[in-house]
Structure 1
Amino acid sequence: IEWQQPTQPRQERSITMDLVSTNDELLITTEHVDYLWTGLDFFRDLSYEEFRDMLAKASLQTYNPGDVIIRQGMPPKSFFVIKSGVAEMCVKSKFDDPISTPPNYLGAVVNELTKFDYFGERALSTAEPYAASVRVLEKTRCFVFNVEDIPESSILSKQRRASREMIDKLNQRYVLPEGYTPSYAATPKDDSILELLVRFKQIRQAAMCFKYIMNTEPTWGDTGQIARRSKLVSKLSKSQREEFQKVFELADVHKRGKISLLNMREFIESSRTTKTDSEMLEMIQKANPLYHGRVDYGITRDEFMGVMAEAEFYSLFTETFEALDKDKTGYVKAGDLDEVLGGVRDLISGDRKSIIDVEDKDMLVDYEQFSKMLLGAA
């Protein structure tokens, strides 16, 4: 997303304590000083020297109607206190569509800001992006305190973190109106695009299956392998089985109930991998000794479902274990593997027995081979 920048102030003037007066026409009055120092929780604990030095570095910025002082989602840089004028605080919901929403749409109005109201405090207190946008309704002057000029003793310095209780209190200023409906809610753009994305996902799944065949050279055709893969298929959810069935139907372009070598190559190449005819035939020969070079050979639906299930679980295991392999060596410690698998097991069982029964927890394990062992494919 390319952020639209806030409006630059129309006028900016520095502030010094020497200009403190009871005359409101001056930059800052005693009323302003009293409020900034003792009326705001954020500055109340500052010493006189800290407050004086901070105020000397602050500025008074002027904005005209329509100007956007800060924008929701941008990194926080300053804290603002309104000296005079009127502005509105706007919040977009997570349901607003970033594509169809025009740049000038800032969201629902959650607060109207006038003299001595402030904004930017939540972002500086939490080190999170601005939670709202602020747009000027009437000519507005703001005291502006840049974060680098705020003493560390203040919660706004970003050197301290707000408590959960304080954050909850700050969040109350940014709550969307009850029953709020986004003016630009995200909706499907075009059914054909969604169908294309679904088809793309199916192609990727088929490519994953064939890539697994090429990388692991699984065997099929004997009753033992059929039974093992059938058990894996039974562990799939109903929606997964239905999805794999659709993938098979997509790959079986001739509706023969089999996927040919040509079909397999098309899907493999869709994953940016190329194989010659001889390489494809060699792969099939290794996977199924019963092939014997038959030209009409193809993978049946049951074979495909079994290998898809095996590829799905293999990918799940290896991706999980890869997260432990920070140096990308292909090996992880046995203790780390046991901890991950044990953590998952604890979610569904009270059994505390170690899954990897080895004394040396620092022993390195080839996790790709280990994944095959878990699937009974090694």
Structure 2
Amino acid sequence: MERLQRKYPLVGDDRIGQIYAITAKSLPAELTRLVDQHAIVLGTISKTRPDAYTVHLREGSAIVFTTGMMDFIYAVTRSITGMFVGHGNAGIEYQKAIGLGDVADLVAGIFTQWMNQRRWYHRSKQINYPRFRLSEEAQQIAETLAKNAEAFIMCHELAHAMNAHKGGDDTEENADALGLKYFMSAAVINNQHRMPVASMMLVVRIFASLERVGVHISSDYLQSAERTEKLRRGLRELPASELDIDEMMTIAVSLQELMDDVDDVIAGVARGNHQDDYQCYIGLLSRLEEVVRGRITEEEFVRGVDEIGRNIGIARMSKVANRLGTSYPSCPLTESPPSRRELMGLRLREINSRLPENLRSLFPS
């Protein structure tokens, strides 16, 4: 690590060291002891190319981050907050549904800069990103997404180091599984899971899109769809029910849909509808929750249902509607005041009569 940092001297604070210092109190003692004993070392080097990797040596493991990785993640998350301008924190679940193509263009522009790296590198030596004005709340969201994304990458690399120390099977899949546990124990505050989960899933898509524009990442990750699904399944060990996980995924799915648009822009093709049944289900779940919280009207929910129905067809919509109705069943109100989930089940059935006629029979009444 010292040799790398001499070759690529860092100007300013060691960001990964700062993140580790914040995260360490939530990490297993066995792991932090290895860091304290310098059997695992972490550091940032001044290289423009986004990368993060672990080198296993005879005396231990070295985790290396480049400044380019930190800069790139912040540039992407800063641009994504265009989704939040003028909206509250929880509003992201619904914003993608009302169309924010310009945000996809902004984010795609950051990735495509790497296709012309020499042009901007010699001018500024730093990735450029839109600097539109943000509300204080939106700025906080950008910083939270970036910090969590960096923390997840670090936890993934720490898992590589721990797996190697124990002589285990140090695959990317195993590092994700262990890194997920490290990350969630550190990132979840006051039982708020959605932003940490969104940041983690966003990392997967950022890495995949970087590779699409020709950035070589040192690690050989799983394909993004498979990696996302395995991480989602890993959330069951929190412990959490399937519905808990579905609700944790609302912001993550919204960002995944944005990144689908980003990839289409990068590829120079018309933006398509890439939603699978699970994403459609989460989209409806998000809208229903927003109705109950008073952030959107029932009419907006109905328009969202109609839009999804036209995009995916009756057969698929039937499966999505059935899953939503099963997740939020009609049952006697047991709490005073009623729980959010009880209200979601109640409102879903109240809205049925307002749905388009061809979709009405698919939803519970």
TM-score band, normalised by shorter chain: under 0.3
User: Which has a greater percent of strand?
Assistant: 1
Structure with higher RCO (Cα < 8 A, 6+ apart): 2
User: Which has a greater percent of helix?
Assistant: 2
TM-score (norm 1): 0.24
